[in-house]
Amino acid sequence: MCRLEPKMIQPSFILKDQVALITGAAGALGTVACSTFAQAGAHIVLVGRDKDKLIQKAALLESTGAKTMCISADVTSSSSVKSMLDQTLSHFGRIDIVLNNAGTTSPKSLLEITDEDWYSIINTSATGGFFVSRAVAPYMIRAKYGRIISMGSILSVRGMANRSAYAAAKAALANFNRSLAFELGPYGITVNTLGPTVIVTDLNREMILKQPELYESVLKRTALGRLGVPQDIAGPLLFLASPAASFVTGQMLFVDGGYTAT
């Protein structure tokens, strides 16, 4: 029977006592995600390869009252991802939100990209997102609740010179999420992708300065006339992770200053 009048849920951006797992938590975008979810009341599982960096970031979160856990894991390994999930459930007993944020890139032309470059970029973003989503899905299905969010890009739907592998990985991840939304929707689980523009961080600031013509072309197509900063993703991330987005799934939410509107 078709439910024409579902139970109404009061819009809320509160994540009190929910457990949010963030891969790539040591990076600039991962740091913003951890802080944003923690401020909304969530407990944070920081996942990455450099546990020392994770511990430093966790200490800052805990100083604000958040409960945290740090896990060293490789998202390109299904066994490592399974161990990550087992540790999370053993420690917190639940998992409500997952952000597939781990990713890498290599600004090379087609003729310069090595086999290793290609597999590293594809496996970290696309395969990693698949491994993590597949691992958490059974628990979320049993709980009849979950938020799976993946970090896409404007290059999920656009092309750019010297970013072909990265664009392929982000496009694959976004379309994987669209399909997954249909599989998991009946269980109250939403699956969405965030699509930021170029976000200026310590990792790419020098690259931006060295390739001004490339980034000028991005600026020319951006309605707001600037590149992004990490804090620009905070509000959209909180929205997708929160009860306020309970009827939003299978979507690509661009945070790009209008870039994809052109």
Instruction: For the sheet with 97-100, list strands across it.
Output: 68-72, 43-48, 19-23, 97-100, 146-151, 189-196, 252-255
Q: Is the dihedral of CA 150, 36, 94, 75 positive or negative?
A: positive
Give the catalytic positions in this structure. Answer: 166
Strands 68-72 and 43-48: parallel
Compute the half-sphere exposure of residue 51: CA atoms within 13 Å on the CB side of its CA. 7
What is d(CA 54, CA 61) in angstroms, rounded to the nearest whole number? 11
Place of tokens 């511990």: 55
- 124: nearest Cα among 260, 243, 209, 23: 23
Distance CA(79)–CA(135), nearest Å, equals 10
